[in-house]
Amino acid sequence: MDDLYLKYLKSLSVQYPTIAKASTEMINLQARLNLPKETEHFVSDIHGEYEQFLHILRNGSGAIRNKIEDVFGSTLSQKDKKSLAALIYYPEQKVEQMKLHLSQEDLLDWYKVSLHRLVAVCKESSAKYTRSRLRKNLPPDYAYILEELLSENNRVVQKEEYYNEIFDTIIRINRAKEFIVAISTAIQRLVVTRLHIIGDIFDRGPGPHIIMDHLMKDNVEVDFQWGNHDIVWMGAASGSWVCIANVIRLCARYNNMDVLEDGYGINLLPLATFALDTYKDDPCEIFRGKTMVEVPENELELNTKMHKAIAILQFKLEGQVIKKHPEFKMEKRNLLDKINYDNGTITIDGKTYPLLDTSFPTIMPEDPYALTPEEEELMNRLCLNFKNCEKLQEHIRFMFNKGSMYLCYNGNLLYHGCVPIDEDGMFREVLIKDKYYKGKGLYDILEYYMRKGYYEQEDEEEHEYGKDIMWYTWSNENSPVFGKEKMATFERYFIDDKSLHEERKDYYYQLIENEEMVNRIMVEFGLNPDTAHIINGHMPVKTKKGESPVKCGGKVMIIDGGFSKAYHKTTGISGYTLIYNSYGLRLVAHEAFTSTEDVIEKEIDVHSSTVIRELNSVRERVYDTENGKKFREKIKDLEELLLAYRSGLILERE
């Protein structure tokens, strides 16, 4: 035994100071290896649609309905099952509704029946957990009582009165509502052990901040595989001017400034003042944003001017970054210097197009990417607002701490977009700084510099490069999370030629059915092609046109089905989610979430249908998982600690 390992064992002995304690932990871990594997829940491309997302968390993508079916089968009517499901999803609101509609006597009966049913579902949901793991998921105020009820043995007649008395006392002392909320919350936590968010919490929808608040306080283990929309917000929080401009422009495009102003408390008054002054006589018609709700005309007019102001700033700032980094190879995306400002046209690849808007009061034709003094001052103030926003910084730190560019977990490869591929199906070599990277190495180096862009404090050059890399990762054709030839933002605004609006996808998406290529990716990330899956999002699956989210014979699953309302017409559904438990994989398609009120009052749940079910031939155990690997390693260390105790190499401490 080398000195370093002995030092580690001595450190371990602090936690397990006796043979008895080390043995007990070994027995505990060995037993846990034989429990069914945890339930994983995969969600992608939420885009701020917090109501639908939070509801899908509450119902576990149908997992709670399945538990109710397993417990009650044909012994409960469909109406009673729906009512019980609604109670579990929204216990507080459902109890208040029943109080309004039932007499006092009927309400007491309803309480008792509901408590019995909830305990039965909770017991089924907790079956694969150890007592200690279960205790962590129970609300502290009711943990003891819930543990008693969940350990109930119906065959022990002598204890029947004991359990009934618990229910009667809960109801008699007016704690039924609180207890129902507690046990329903426990069920929600127990049906899903780990949540994987495969990119894009931010942009388009009204509540990314609500989603982040929920994830930070919830008890579910969560990890993020960053999407391009997340990364541009990470860049903005880091103080990148070009990322800040992109974030604000996207909020303006979807008439979603409330996210910045109300959600994060970021002061946009400097931008509003600048926009009104600069474009006071300009209708800015092409910058009227998209919206799913009615917006007052005066608010829409101000938003339109702010939209144009920040878009022009974005194009200038992007031009500066592109000139600063010729290795990014994005010179073709600099279009402000291709404009003929006298006749209002632009020349791209030798062809001239008329512009839909020719008013550019802040652009100097001789130096179109230079900021005016007013723009310089505005960006300084916006940058301070973003960097000093405590809530935004908390959310982004959480995303850095819990996230990564990709994740290999329980034999599956999770990433948001793609692996950049050449036409021949081989990994594309990409120049980052002064070295070429491809495949997994490209993912790793981009994540390295992104973390530098947010955290680095000593090396200013590395910090600035990291911020620029976040913008690069947001929009470059070689970025794994973007995966398109270009981001045709300028063309979509200013040029009425659909051919220029096209954003050609990476060859990855053309070759996704090629098993050889898919296997190569799995091997690159250290996975077994015979058993692994690639799970990613980013590209909305056009279900309406017959497109399937399942690719390459089930080896790849693209689970972006369009959470965002902006995509519903294209996809025909409202998102995919994936459940992976000990029995196998279940891919679920969801219809649009109407409202919380519909679930509570009408007991109408989101209609979800299973797209594919991939069952294991043998039920998976914890032994087969990432946690199982950690347990086995710890068991090995504990065995060595026991040997050290018994040989006198390390002394027990009573």
Of 117, 111, 178, 177, the residue nearest 142 (C-alpha): 178
Indicate the pairing of strand 435-437 with strand 430-432. Answer: antiparallel
Find the length of the chain.
654
Q: What are phi and psi of 205, to 5 degrees?
A: -80, 170
Give the residue ranges of DSSP H helices in 289-372. 297-324
Render 88-102 in DSSP notation, one character per residue.
Answer: HHSHHHHHHHHHHHS
Burial 454-490 (b: 16+ CB within 10 A, else e): bebeeeeebbbbbbbbbbbbbbbbbbbbbbbebbbbb
Per DSSP (E only), the strands in 40-175 are 40-43
Look at residue 193 in the predicted model and tell me its pLDDT.
87
Give the residue ranges of DSSP H helices in 17-62. 19-32, 50-59
What is the rounded CA–CA span in Å between residue 342 and residue 352? 14
Mention every residue, 6+ apart, whose C-beta is less than 8 A from residue 571. Answer: 540, 541, 542, 543, 544, 561, 562
Quick one: how far is CA 394 from the chain centroid? 16
Of 103, 83, 81, 82, the residue nearest 94 (C-alpha): 83
- Determine contact, residues 315/375, Cβ cutoff 8 Å: no
Rg (CA), the chain: 28
Q: pLDDT (tens digit, 9 = 90+) per residue, 54-111?
A: 888 888 888 898 899 999 999 999 999 999 999 999 999 999 999 999 999 999 999 9
- Determine contact, residues 363/317, Cβ cutoff 8 Å: no
Sign of CA dihedral 553, 554, 557, 561: positive
- Determine contact, residues 537/45, Cβ cutoff 8 Å: yes
SS3 assignment, position 340: strand
Tokens of 591: 């219809």
What is the rounded CA–CA span in Å between residue 605 and residue 553? 31
- Determine contact, residues 259/206, Cβ cutoff 8 Å: yes
Look at residue 609 in the predicted model and tell me its pLDDT.
66
What is the rounded CA–CA span in Å between residue 217 and residue 79? 33
Element (H, E) at 327: none
Q: How do the residues of the chain divide into helix, strand and coil, expressed in percent and rounded to 5?
A: 55, 10, 30
Low-confidence ranges of the chain (pLDDT < 50): none
Element (H, E) at 608: strand 608-615
Of 502, 468, 246, the residue nearest 379 (C-alpha): 246
Of 433, 406, 434, the residue nearest 419 (C-alpha): 406
pTM of the model: 0.91
